[in-house]
Amino acid sequence: MPQDRSASSAGRSKSDSYWELSKRPLHVLFFLLPLILLYELGSIRFLSDPGKGVVETIVAHRLLYRLFESFGGAAFYLPGLALVVVLLLWHILLKDRWRVRVSALVGMAAESAVLTMPLLVLGMLTQRQAALAATTQLATLSTQAKVTLAIGAGLYEELLFRLLIITGLHLLLVDAVRMKNLPGSIIAAALSAGAFAWYHDVPGLPMGLPLASFYVLSGLYFAALFVTRGFGIVVAVHALYDIVALTFMSQK
């Protein structure tokens, strides 16, 4: 009996470690909820025209919105609501505890800031072309609007390219086709990175090799973070990088 209690305690300790909690859907939900609210409120405040409604948004958000619209839903907030519902359902299916450790949320914020650094270094290598792309599309927007778009990119591009595409491809390749986990995961990551680069092809601005390389490599980096550190971390890293890129790097 003492050995059984010890083993049970060790199992709980492992599952309650920061590295596990930071990937759990309930912690991810509470970590991302401020970003979801900031994007929704920022879109109304900084990206809207009184006569036309929301006029600037993330393409990934727009694609998800149109998907809901095809099923009869037309509210702008539906993609954000869907993200909340998915995380809640995931939590319920795991039958996990309804308890959030604040220290884990603080750790997730700090870890995200650290993991943004390699991406910033990579971005600086292609800064001139990346800055031109950003300036071409967003020159007339305020800083608040750019920050709102950066947060939206982190949320909805990661929802589309990592949570949906990588998870879907992994289910297809590993669970349905019975491919081994490692090659299946690599193929899913590579395809999502290629789709991510294609998605960022700016109309009217040729995508040269440095910029294309940046999007492919950053897509692979995001995929690696998603697989190893979870959805919450990769969203925050993406959003933090875009905030810096859109508000500082594009001004140089």
Q: What is the pLDDT of residues 209-251, one digit of tens each?
A: 778 888 999 999 999 999 999 999 999 999 999 999 888 765 5
Residue-level pLDDT at 7: 43
Task: Report the run of H or E that residue 107 belongs to, with start and end.
Answer: helix 102-125
Two tokens, residue 243: 């905030």
Residue ranges making up the domain that contains 18:
2-251
Residue 49 has pLDDT above 80, yes or no: no
| pLDDT tens-digit series, residues 87-145 | 999 999 999 999 999 999 999 999 999 999 999 998 887 765 555 555 555 667 788 98
Two tokens, residue 10: 């060790």
Tell me what the mean pLDDT of segment 162-177 comes to: 94
Q: State the total domains in the chain.
A: 1
Write down the pTM of the prediction: 0.86
Residue-level pLDDT at 128: 57
- Percent of the chain topping pLDDT 90: 56
Residue 190 carries which DSSP code? H
Contact (CB, 8 A) for 161 and 192: yes
Which residue bears the tokens 């879907």?
168
Residue-level pLDDT at 139: 64
Task: List Cβ<8 Å contacts ≥24 apart for 54-57.
Answer: 56/141, 56/145, 56/149, 57/149, 57/152
